Structure 1
Amino acid sequence: MNRNLKRKIGLFTTYAIVSIVLVVSLALFGKANGEITSFGPADNGRILALAPGTVITVALPENPSTGYAWSPEIDKMVGQILEDEFIPSGDNLLGTGGTHLFKIKIIGAGEIRFSYMRPWENCPSETFRLTVTG
């Protein structure tokens, strides 16, 4: 199997897992002091009108075996991380990734950013951003 096809299959699998995790997280977390809303890679750059107390879930594909991880950058006046968890894909294959799940309580307006990078590097390979308005 050629390398490009393997990469496409891997990306498809990762996005399928992210979708499943989003559905499962909604079922597991229910509602807590506001409606839970889930966001993923397709929501990058969105502007959201969310009331304080709303709880959101951000699910991003991650592969820690490569050294890359999502790092949140959230001002304490904008949001508070309630949960921060990596969920493996379940393939049990060396080098496979999974989903990094962040549960965040909205405090106020501002920007929620995530950087996908290796700890020893200065520039992220990817970023994810949501802008919260009141």
Structure 2
Amino acid sequence: MKKILLTSLVALLTLPTLAQAEQLLNDANQQQTIQVKPKETIIVTLPANPSTGYMWQFQPPEDGTIKLVGNWKHTPSKKNTPGAGGETTWRLVAGQSGETTLQFFYRRPWEDASVEAVQVREYKIVINSTSSAASTPASAVKPWF
């Protein structure tokens, strides 16, 4: 009986370390180099206010280094005020080893890409299977979709 209890306790204590690691990116770490491992999840959250007509635009790299999982999601501000902003979030997953730069452009969706964005966010991503970067455990992140 003690052996079963001890085994169960060890399993419960190691369970959080088995969770898929996630990197959380926002305005605070833009223009930084982010180290991730293949198949690691990257969550990007940026402040946005679609009521102004502006939205973040993102196109995943075509080289397979980063893939978009599902669609972006906008979460309104907790303030129940007309015109209040919120956050737009993307869930990405690192693919093959390599380097890429994630670029997010804040512009009106009906405008041509030649129109300069009012805001730009960039994150340099290095995907390396030997990366020892500290990650936020998935158990610490609230699900958003």
What's the TM-score once normalised by structure 2's chain length?
0.66
Q: Deviations over 1:75-110 (max 9, x none)?
A: 141211114100001212111010001111011421
Note if 1:115 corresponds to 2:105: yes
From the superposition, tell whether residues 32 and 45 of structure 1 become closer, same or farther in structure 2 (CA, over 3 Å): farther
Would the aligned equivalents of 2:41 and 2:92 in 1 still touch at CA under 8 Å?
yes
Pick from 32, 35, 50 the counterpart of residue 36 of structure 2: 50
Answering whether residue 121 of structure 2 is matched by residue 128 of structure 1, we say: yes
Question: What whole-Å deviation, never above 9, does each CA across 1:22-45 have from its counterpart, x for those lacking one?
Answer: xxxxxxxx8998411111101111
Matched, 1:88 2:76: yes
Root-mean-square deviation (CA), in Å? 2.0
- Structure 1 residue runs of 5 or longer lacking an equivalent are 1-29
Say yes or no: does 1:65 pair with 2:55: no
TM-score of the two chains, using structure 1 as the length reference: 0.71
Distance 2:31 2:66 in 1: 17
Aligned length: 105
> 1:38 is matched with which residue: 24, 34, 57?
24
Equivalent pair of 1:39/1:58 in contact (CA under 8 Å): yes
Q: Percent of aligned positions with the same letter in both sequences? A: 24
Structure (1/2) with the larger helix percentage: 1
Higher radius of gyration, 1 or 2: 2
Return the alpha-carbon distance in structure 2 between the equivalents of residues 69 and 52 of structure 1: 29
What is the CA-CA distance between 1:73 and the residue it aligns to?
A: 2.4
Q: Secondary structure at the match of 2:51?
A: helix
The amino acid that maps onto 1:124 is: A
| Paired position in structure 2 for 1:78 | 65
> Structure 1 residues 64 and 50, CA, compared in 2 at 3 Å: closer, same or farther?
same
For structure 2, list consecutive stretches of 5 or more residues without a partner in the other structure. 1-15, 129-145
Higher relative contact order (CA 8 A, sep 6+): 2
Give the letter aligned to residue 125 of structure 2: V
Kept in 2: contact 1:33–1:53 (CA 8 A):
no
**Residue 49 of structure 1 aligns to which amino acid in structure 2?**
Q
